[in-house]
Structure 1
């Protein structure tokens, strides 16, 4: 039986242009993944990921790769939430994100929420490699089911390396078929929105951030490197975004 779904790759490469700005020598996408450059600033390139088709669907294999070269700055978002949907093929969908940032480079990865729809199956893997001196703001938000519906099966894994050293490697599985306890008090506690924020800044080496709670439903944990992890759970996507935005504003000074 042929269970192959759509295969699609989106690639971005950001490069310092030698004049204090950032150019995009590579901006390629196909299938349900469409990349659009939007108005940014002279120093920072802005890109939106636009869903050109429904997906990911069962059996799909989608990959997004963003490489930020030394000294370049890239901000990447998405135009709308991503819906993991059931499809004709019985296999789970896969969504792979690969991010690298060179020394002195900066990446803000700020997509909209991923919503796990009833009957869907998705495995999301994110692999981030940072050179020493790189800066990162990475936000990930997952909503388990649309309003009034049960979630699909969602497995997400996040790995972060700094200067070749793994500082974070964690996996969360939710929904039907996931190991028991995912909805219990030790994990989501009945909430239906879960998110995390990884912030890496060279300043954290001299001024480390202390572990602690960040209001109800959120906590901060220093990583073994100049980085921190914020995790949050909330009853809905709006509250989750508010928690993560408050955490980010406390960690990264506004540029005005």
Structure 2
């Protein structure tokens, strides 16, 4: 920890173990982001990020770097929601996530919700680099404020690239000081929970999916490649998770 906040880096590498499973040759983290291996599910290695401290607070810099090699299957989650809080250090907090998946590899990034508490200022960047033939399932959920609380400032950018081509690059900024209209009908429409689900797989041929509504507050959009994006808004975290779970069940059924 420094006068400007906490610096924390977590690194996870998954590799095929040569016996039909997935090994974790690198599982390293410090401070507030401790990676813990949990029981494997078939050929899939599973890791939970366990929060050892509150945060991120103002001035903190957290980063997560995870990769899945050829033939590896990695499932990443978190043990609890991430709570962005104001801190004594000035300036915004940053939470940077970098995911890399090789051809024939598969990575699921399914953390719990990120909650933007009043007075916090957090910038989240998630960047995904996929080789051709890689698979990705990614879920992000943001909740603006705790119960009965105004939100902090939250900026979130998500970029997904496949074989050097950008499939998705979007940014959303909410809360005090964010560009006008973020809470209006064209963006959140007064809702306080927003999330997205990204599915990339070789069998999802470009143009196979059509843009459509999947239900109240939930829309599906095809990506510029073998993938789809589901975006959802909801009044609270529970409703948001339900809408994204329903969308994932539908997408999974469509692939069978």
* Same fold? TM cut 0.5: yes
Check if 1:132 corresponds to 2:132. yes
| Shift of residue 176, structure 1, vs aligned partner | 0.3
Match in the other structure for 1:246: 246
Match in the other structure for 1:44: 44
Match in the other structure for 1:170: 170
Q: Count the aligned residue pairs.
A: 255
CA distance in 2, matches of 1:109, 1:253: 20
1:77-116 matches, within 5 Å, as 77-116=77-116
CA distance in 2, matches of 1:118, 1:5: 19
TM-score where L is the length of structure 1? 0.97
| Shift of residue 159, structure 1, vs aligned partner | 0.4
CA distance in 2, matches of 1:225, 1:74: 22
1:151-162 matches, within 5 Å, as 151-162=151-162
What is the SS of the residue equivalent to 2:245?
A: helix
Q: Structure 1: which 4+ aligned runs deviate by more than 6 Å?
A: none
What is the SS of the residue equivalent to 1:59?
A: coil
Change (3 A) 1:42 1:88: same
Select between 37-46 and 25-34 the one with higher mean Cα deviation.
Answer: 37-46
> Over residues 108-156 of structure 1, what are the superposed CA-to-partner deviations in whole Å (9 max), with x where a residue is unaligned?
1111000000000000000001111111110000000000000000000
| Shift of residue 254, structure 1, vs aligned partner | 10
Match in the other structure for 2:72: 72
Could you tell me whether the CA contact under 8 Å between 1:22 and 1:42 is conserved in 2? no
CA distance in 2, matches of 1:131, 1:63: 22
CA distance in 1, matches of 2:118, 2:25: 39
CA distance in 2, matches of 1:215, 1:161: 28
CA distance in 2, matches of 1:158, 1:206: 20
Match in the other structure for 1:57: 57
What is the SS of the residue equivalent to 1:104?
A: coil
> Over residues 26-68 of structure 1, what are the superposed CA-to-partner deviations in whole Å (9 max), with x where a residue is unaligned?
0000010010000022410000001000010000000001011
Match in the other structure for 1:22: 22
What is the SS of the residue equivalent to 2:215?
A: coil
CA distance in 2, matches of 1:3, 1:59: 9
Could you tell me whether the CA contact under 8 Å between 1:20 and 1:42 is conserved in 2? no
Match in the other structure for 2:142: 142
| Shift of residue 25, structure 1, vs aligned partner | 0.2
What is the SS of the residue equivalent to 1:204?
A: coil
| Shift of residue 211, structure 1, vs aligned partner | 1.1
Check if 1:117 corresponds to 2:117. yes
CA distance in 2, matches of 1:40, 1:86: 37
- Segments of 5+ residues of structure 1 without an aligned counterpart are none
What is the SS of the residue equivalent to 2:203?
A: helix
Question: For the aligned residues, what is the CA RMSD?
Answer: 1.6
Change (3 A) 1:185 1:207: closer
What is the SS of the residue equivalent to 2:41?
A: coil
Match in the other structure for 2:35: 35
CA distance in 2, matches of 1:17, 1:201: 22
| Shift of residue 206, structure 1, vs aligned partner | 7.2
